[in-house]
Chain A
């Protein structure tokens, strides 16, 4: 299931929902991303997140499908917030249920890495010195591409 939303999410409730994925599930991997105080700029007080409604959900659905072809994925959950977010707020949640840990780790990491370089979201950092649209990082592109080799 995929949600793009302005409101916060309850990671514990999402984890509980992932546990309800059948007796074949032996591993759950989750990732949560938070708003950090430094990025392209220092003293970040918050973020503004923009997305391309419709295309975003389609791209993430494609990533979950690809993960399901490559690894054992029994259930996957992606939540991404948009709009204004304050320091230390939750931005993104990825959770994957698999039979074994290696598949859960890989599928969760793949979805997160691929989301960063292919899902149409854009971050703007807000700080005392003003606003700054975040630049795409070569390191993020490299992590995304590493899954294709």
Chain B
């Protein structure tokens, strides 16, 4: 059986400050986007900003989501700063 994973992507200021564009993480059963943020923030250093820092937007499978939204194996979860296009 293959390992159950999910993909995490970062954009813009977060991508630069974390020095990371994409991560593959194990997907453990009952998990929300907020749980994922908390786990990443506990890495410390620049990662700490993911909790309690500037606002972080969440998308799951390219649709806007909330901290309470569930994430599961195979999902693409993205974290990014508020958008500034146009």
Q: Give A residues with C-beta under 8 Å from B.
A: 33, 49-52, 54-55, 58, 80, 91-92, 112, 115-124, 133-136, 140
Contacts and interface: CB of A to CB of B under 8 A. Distances in A.
Tell me the dominant secondary structure on chain A's binding face: mixed
A39 B64 CA distance: 27
A119 B85 contact: yes
3 closest cross-chain pairs (CB), A and B: A121-B85, A122-B12, A136-B82
Interface residues of B, number: 18
Given A52-B11, A52-B78, A122 B84 contact: yes
Contacts, number: 72
B58 to A, nearest CB: 11
B1 interface: no
B73 interface: no
Given A50-B12, A54-B62, A116 B86 contact: yes
Contact of A115 (B80, B82, B86): B86
Nearest to A4: B85
Nearest to A133: B13
A120 B11 contact: yes
A120 B80 contact: yes
Nearest to B55: A136
